[in-house]
């Protein structure tokens, strides 16, 4: 694949970092994180090498669903600051070369949103059709996103005698995105935040955003949004949350034209990763990666280890899901919604630094853009004392001080609390790791820089390299100007991995990007690569005259 001017397609090789202002840093010590605190940590993100900051919802909200129940799309929760503080964060990030994307949550609103309050006033109210109503719920209802919490997706408004649809909690009524007025409102929201300086949006729960009650093409709305984003911002992007099989995800990209969502998270490969880790077998990952559809050059995958929700395993078979549960969530309290795990990665693998480094090396080496969830760079664990999904949303651990350096407020005033035990701030924090060569933070920082110096990962043609070892994943990404091999061992036993380089010429050498080793292939391009148990290597093919940094 030939790489041309990539400046307008910045997301192809972005390093995305997701955080919630509420739990990142409390600057005024009222117990709640705020934009002033975030502004003082932008340099930390720049040091790590982040190129795109993704902010979780910070809008006014009753906070019944971590801010995803929104009452005002144009405002800021006063606990975090005001619009001036938000713009200052945007400006500071841009000064450090960091783009900013924000959550676009328009599949539903809070039931406290002015639109819904108006809709409840009567069937003739102009806002009634902003939501989805029926006289009787359908006999075959779609399953609620939270089946262990909500009984169905339709709830009776006793005053009017009609039911409104809620794909999530009943306090989050679904918007009627088939209504042209609702689409106009969504366009205004997008335009407003573009005007304030954002570079794009992470689009929440995209399948629930599309209207499935009309004969029209439901994906047409995504194409309309993408065209609007292009008009308002020539370099804006839409990163979609679509937890579906790869063939169904492809439709959300816009299929052959690639004119739907700009990026999508690869949930299928994420779930295959945990199955592979549980089995210490790379074959689930090989199968998942081979099932990825070929994307248009302007589209991209978002690769991740963890996100802000439960570790959803719904794309695995029932047998495989139970195997992962038994290995990584043996206690029922560690599971959620019958499909997911409410834990972070480090405790699952007993904090083994070899496996941690291998996993992040693997994710960064896959074609796409890596997405980090705050605290991953230091190996934060979960707090199972917190309810539900909140277990992985504990405060950022900056130091070994009380409350992990997140806030000096009394514990009773904290929006949430840090974990105790082996993954508490006493043992896991930024201050201890920043200047230690052997720390996870130092490793991730170096990994980010190596990824940023390897544009072929975002742009190249991808291929799995067949291996005789079930536990080894070997793959290659290649452009006209760059050729990279990556090998990862998910098992504890060392192996010698066979690799063959095509089109080898005299003087060709292979450089290990992490260990400063040089390997020389034979005249047929064959190379034997030693790989430790839980080992990882990135190998750049360097031909005579190649001026790439190694």
- What residues are labeled active site? 204, 241
Among all chains, which residue has been given the structure tokens 């031909």? 543
**Contact status, residue 496 vs residue 529, Cβ threshold 8 Å:** yes
Residue 169 burial by CB count (10 A; 0-12/13-18/19+): exposed, middle or buried? buried
Residue in 457, 5, 3 with CA at minimum distance from that of residue 234 = 5
Question: Is residue 304 a contact partner of residue 289, using CB atoms and an 8 Å limit?
Answer: no
Neighbours of 189 (CB within 10 A): 18
Both tokens assigned to 145: 């996103």
Characterise 390 by phi-psi region: left (phi > 0), alpha (psi -120 to 50), beta (else).
alpha
CA angle 272, 55, 243 (to 5 degrees): 30
- The whole-angstrom separation of Cα 310 and Cα 458 is 27
Token reading at 329: 């969530």
- The rounded distance, in Å, linking the Cα atoms of 462 and 478 is 7
For 57, list phi and psi in degrees, rounded to 5. Answer: -55, 130
In whole angstroms, how far apart are CA 160 and each of 7, 118, 137, 167?
53, 13, 14, 20
Between CA 215 and CA 201 the distance in angstroms is 28
Contact 300, 252 (CB under 8 A): no
């Amino acid at each position: 694949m030939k790489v041309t001017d990539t400046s307008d397609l910045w997301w192809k090789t972005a390093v995305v970092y997701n955080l919630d202002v509420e739990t990142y840093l409390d600057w005024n010590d009222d117990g709640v994180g705020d934009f002033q605190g975030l502004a003082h940590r932008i340099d930390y993100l720049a040091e790590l090498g982040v190129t795109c900051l993704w902010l979780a919802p910070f809008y006014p909200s009753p906070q019944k669903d971590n801010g995803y129940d929104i009452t005002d799309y144009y405002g800021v929760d006063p606990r975090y600051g005001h619009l001036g503080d938000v713009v200052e964060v945007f400006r500071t990030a841009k000064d450090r070369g960091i783009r900013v994307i924000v959550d676009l949550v328009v599949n539903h609103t809070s039931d406290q949103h002015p639109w819904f309050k108006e809709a409840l006033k009567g069937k003739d109210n102009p806002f009634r059709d902003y939501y989805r109503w029926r006289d009787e719920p359908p006999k075959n209802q779609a399953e609620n996103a939270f089946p262990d919490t909500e009984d169905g997706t339709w709830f009776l408004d006793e005053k009017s005698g009609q039911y409104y649809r809620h794909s999530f909690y009943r306090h989050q009524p679904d918007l009627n995105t088939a209504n042209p007025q609702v689409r106009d409102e969504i366009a205004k929201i997008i335009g407003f935040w573009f005007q304030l300086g954002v570079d794009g949006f992470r689009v929440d729960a995209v399948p629930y955003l599309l209207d499935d009650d009309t004969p029209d093409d439901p994906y047409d709305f995504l194409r309309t949004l993408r065209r609007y984003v292009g008009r308002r911002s020539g370099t804006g992007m839409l990163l979609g949350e679509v937890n579906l099989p790869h063939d169904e995800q492809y439709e959300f990209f816009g299929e052959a034209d690639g004119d739907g969502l700009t990026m999508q998270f690869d949930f299928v490969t994420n779930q295959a990763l945990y199955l592979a880790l549980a089995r210490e077998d790379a074959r689930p990952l090989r199968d998942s990666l081979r099932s990825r559809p070929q994307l248009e050059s302007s589209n991209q995958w978002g690769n991740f280890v963890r996100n802000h929700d439960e570790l959803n395993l719904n794309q695995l078979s029932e047998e495989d899901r139970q195997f992962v549960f038994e290995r990584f969530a043996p206690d029922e309290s560690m599971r959620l919604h019958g499909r997911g795990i409410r834990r972070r990665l480090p405790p699952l693998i007993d904090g083994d630094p070899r496996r941690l480094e291998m996993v992040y090396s693997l994710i960064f080496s896959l074609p796409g853009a890596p997405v980090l969830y705050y605290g991953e760079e230091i190996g934060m664990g979960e707090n199972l004392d917190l309810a539900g999904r909140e277990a992985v949303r504990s405060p950022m651990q900056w130091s070994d001080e009380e409350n992990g350096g997140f806030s000096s407020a009394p514990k009773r005033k904290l929006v949430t609390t840090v974990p105790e035990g082996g993954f508490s701030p006493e043992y896991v924090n930024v201050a201890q790791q920043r200047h230690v060569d052997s720390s996870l933070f130092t490793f991730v920082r170096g990994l980010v820089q190596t990824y940023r110096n390897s544009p072929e990962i975002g742009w190249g043609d991808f291929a799995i390299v067949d291996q005789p070892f079930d536990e080894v994943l070997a793959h290659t990404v290649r452009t006209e100007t760059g050729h990279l091999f990556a090998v990862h061992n998910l098992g504890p036993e060392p192996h010698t991995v066979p690799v063959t380089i095509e089109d080898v010429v005299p003087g060709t050498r292979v450089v290990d990007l992490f260990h400063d080793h040089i390997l020389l292939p034979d005249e047929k391009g064959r190379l034997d690569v030693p790989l430790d148990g839980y080992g990882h290597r990135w190998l750049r093919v360097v031909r005579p005259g190649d001026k790439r940094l190694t």
